[in-house]
Chain A
Amino acid sequence: MSTAAGLRHDLLWQKVTIAIPYVWLLVYFLAPFAIILKISLADPVIAQPPFTPFFDSQGDITATSDNYSFLLTDKLYAVTYLKSVFMALVATLLCLALGFPMAYGIARADESTRNLLLLLIVLPFWISFLLRVYAWMGLLNNYGVINNVLMWLNVIDKPIAFMYTDFAIYVGLVYSYLPFMVLPLYATLERMDLDLVEAAQDLGARPSQAFWDVTWPLARPGVIAGCLLVFIPAMGEYVIPYLLGGPESLLIGRVLFDEFFVNRDWPLASAVAIVLLLILVVPIVFLQRSQARDAEGHA
């Protein structure tokens, strides 16, 4: 084979390699998104599929913004979005408060224990997410493990209603998404030069001051990545509020599901999904900006 032909061959391979993820994103992300966007601009009908076609019989576009204006007029949706943002935010902060010391401890542990601890963090992923949430039902319900133990210890004399409360949702969210906080935090903390903390102390900073002056700012990329990895899926979470939450803890994921499958109002459900996406774009843009700034800072 001549070198010129070899080069052409390499270039072809290069293009194919780059094309694969692009085609993947195009087919499985952009196309479905376009379909959802299209459905969100239609009217619901009792038909198969249950929405009006994009073009009517004359070939004119039949787009309508009714679904979006309905989202604005019915207070339920605004309240649900806000509640979802709030609960996702609280869950994220709880994960951060729990995950930071964990990640710090793992990063500072000696090498052999470190691998074991990381394995323990990842271990839950070997069991289906759904099963693990069901397991929490067994732990939290009125005759569940926690209430039984507390009663047996005479701490309480009648069961505490953990299940079907916001508390249960927080437990589920924090439990499920904690690894997504710990892993990126671990990655940044493990890379950090311990001399920097000692240098701060050497210059007169107490351990707590050294933490806020040095460790925390340098851990920021990990904090941001971890928070987004928790916040974004927690925001649209359906299974946890459905299984652990009460009827009053109406979150946007559940509303979305109900609009699709209970009301069969696909256009409205699509509009709910599009607005959810818009809300999530804000933190994602924030992440990208901050990553770009960090990349510049450590070039």
Chain B
Amino acid sequence: MAGNGASSTPFIEIRDVSKYFGDFAAVDSVSLTIGKGELFSILGGSGCGKTTLLRMLAGFEVPTKGRILIDGVDITEMPPYERPVNMMFQSYAIFPHMTVEKNVAYGLEKEGIPREEIKRRVGEMLNMVQLGAFAARKPHQLSGGQRQRVALARALVKRPKVLLLDEPLAALDKKLRERTQFELMSIQYKLGITFVVVTHDQEEAMILSSRIAVMDKGRLIQVGTPKEVYEYPNCRFVADFIGNINMFEGTVVDVDGDRVRVNCKDAGGELVALSDSPPLAGSAVCVAVRPEKIFISQNEPENSEDTRLAGVVEDLGYFGNLSLYRIRLEGGRIVQVSAQNRRRSAERFLEWDDKVFISWRPRSAVLLTD
């Protein structure tokens, strides 16, 4: 899903931006470039600074230090009403005293665009978000999903260089959220406008984005494509924040080229992982493996390259398309393993308290030092 028309030339440049509220650094020395036409997500938990960063792009907050450029123009101190940027608010912020049509036309009226052109552009935009029939309605007569689309139409009708979306789908129910995700992506693709989305929902960020920036405590932790942040997290926080993962804390036993052997007491054995910049022997590291990268078998696996550990099925859950196992290792540690249910197994596979072996390839594990 990633990379719809993203180019590498920087369109939004955030240069070493910090924002302090009193002594508290809401955003701490963030540098980031976003390409034209990207659908870029800023992902993080509440209070991580993602909304403050978005508000600095919109012009509602001025950075304590650093500069922000859009399309080569320094907009750091430009007031919100002069920026070539529009925002879709988490609350939607639709004017309750105006009709849908008036709401969408508002931004164009402020630009002083001729009446006929406003009418035409508002009509086109309402049709695009499938609200043509609702032009004369008042906001309180609309459903949550329709309101979301009014907010989107109102922000897009001004043809901004950048559209900022603050938790665009958070207020919708699950089914509608899934449908709207794809609508947002197709609208973005059609208009070619750069989208910057703030979200706390890692799944949403994964599906929507060409690239994701993960933030924590005001700092930028990792920036990359959804695949990069999922498969190659650069620290414990990102690994843990995105998706499920098993993390084994241990110490490096020895390093052989890019092969690192790690001793982990609670796993009850030695783990092998690959690393481009292997740490020194004796240092504390974390081996992280995703549940779907782990094989599970009743016979001891043969490949000696792989990490092999013995354990007992503590718990299992059947989800239809896949099964989730919780395996207690000999060291006492519990490991999550997921397996696709490819066969319609009339034959019984695993049960509680079965003795099993789990294994993974060295390439499947990530070695984390931070």
Binding site for B on A (CB under 8 A): 193, 195-196, 198-206, 209, 213-214, 217-218, 297-299
Shortest beta-carbon distance from A210 to chain B in Å: 8
Query: Of B60, B87, B91, B97, which one neighbours A193 at CB under 8 angstroms?
Result: B91
Binds A, one of B105-113, B123-131, B232-240, B318-326: B105-113
A203: which B residues are within 8 A, CB to CB? Answer: 81, 86, 106-107, 110, 154-155, 158
Q: Give 6 A-B contacts (CB < 8 Å), ordered by A residue.
A: A195-B93, A198-B60, A203-B155, A204-B111, A206-B81, A297-B138
Given A204-B111, A297-B140, is A193 in contact with B93 using a C-beta cutoff of 8 Å?
yes
Closest Cβ neighbor of A210 among chain B residues: B81
Shortest beta-carbon distance from B159 to chain A in Å: 12
**CA gap between A204 and B83 in the complex, in Å:** 8
Shortest beta-carbon distance from B311 to chain A in Å: 52
A204 pairs with B93, CB closer than 8 A: no
A201: which B residues are within 8 A, CB to CB? Answer: 59-60, 79-81
Query: Of A199, A202, A204, A297, which one neighbours B95 at CB under 8 angstroms?
Result: A199
Chain A CB within 8 A of B96 CB: yes
A202 pairs with B86, CB closer than 8 A: yes
Chain A CB within 8 A of B89 CB: yes
Shortest beta-carbon distance from A200 to chain B in Å: 7
A205 pairs with B110, CB closer than 8 A: yes
**CA gap between A198 and B92 in the complex, in Å:** 11
Chain A CB within 8 A of B58 CB: yes
Shortest beta-carbon distance from B112 to chain A in Å: 9
Knowing that A196-B93, A199-B89 touch, tell me 8 more A-B residue pairs with CB under 8 angstroms.
Answer: A202-B58, A203-B81, A203-B107, A203-B158, A205-B106, A213-B95, A297-B138, A299-B140
**CA gap between A108 and B110 in the complex, in Å:** 26
**CA gap between A112 and B46 in the complex, in Å:** 24
Query: Of B58, B87, B96, B155, which one neighbours A298 at CB under 8 angstroms?
Result: B96
A204 pairs with B89, CB closer than 8 A: no
A193: which B residues are within 8 A, CB to CB? Answer: 91, 93
Shortest beta-carbon distance from B143 to chain A in Å: 15
Closest Cβ neighbor of A203 among chain B residues: B107
Given A204-B158, A297-B97, is A213 in contact with B79 using a C-beta cutoff of 8 Å?
no
**CA gap between A199 and B89 in the complex, in Å:** 8
The 9 closest A-B pairs by CB, nearest first: A203-B107, A204-B110, A199-B93, A195-B93, A201-B80, A195-B91, A195-B89, A202-B87, A201-B81
For B66-82 the 0/1 string (1 means CB < 8 A from A) is 00000000000001110
**CA gap between A5 and B81 in the complex, in Å:** 66
Query: Of A195, A202, A298, which one neighbours B140 at CB under 8 angstroms?
Result: A298
Given A193-B91, A213-B106, is A198 in contact with B80 using a C-beta cutoff of 8 Å?
yes
Query: Of B58, B97, B107, which one neighbours A204 at CB under 8 angstroms?
Result: B107
B110: which A residues are within 8 A, CB to CB? Answer: 203-205, 209
**CA gap between A257 and B59 in the complex, in Å:** 60
A206: which B residues are within 8 A, CB to CB? Answer: 81
**CA gap between A213 and B154 in the complex, in Å:** 16
Shortest beta-carbon distance from B160 to chain A in Å: 9
Closest Cβ neighbor of B157 among chain A residues: A203
In the complex, chain B residues 128-184 whose Cβ is within 8 Å of any chain A Cβ? 138, 140, 154-155, 158
Query: Of B58, B81, B91, B138, which one neighbours A205 at CB under 8 angstroms?
Result: B81
**CA gap between A32 and B190 in the complex, in Å:** 73
A218 pairs with B97, CB closer than 8 A: yes
Closest Cβ neighbor of A196 among chain B residues: B93
Closest Cβ neighbor of B166 among chain A residues: A195
A209: which B residues are within 8 A, CB to CB? Answer: 110
**CA gap between A201 and B94 in the complex, in Å:** 13
**CA gap between A202 and B80 in the complex, in Å:** 5
Shortest beta-carbon distance from B61 to chain A in Å: 11
B81 pairs with A217, CB closer than 8 A: no
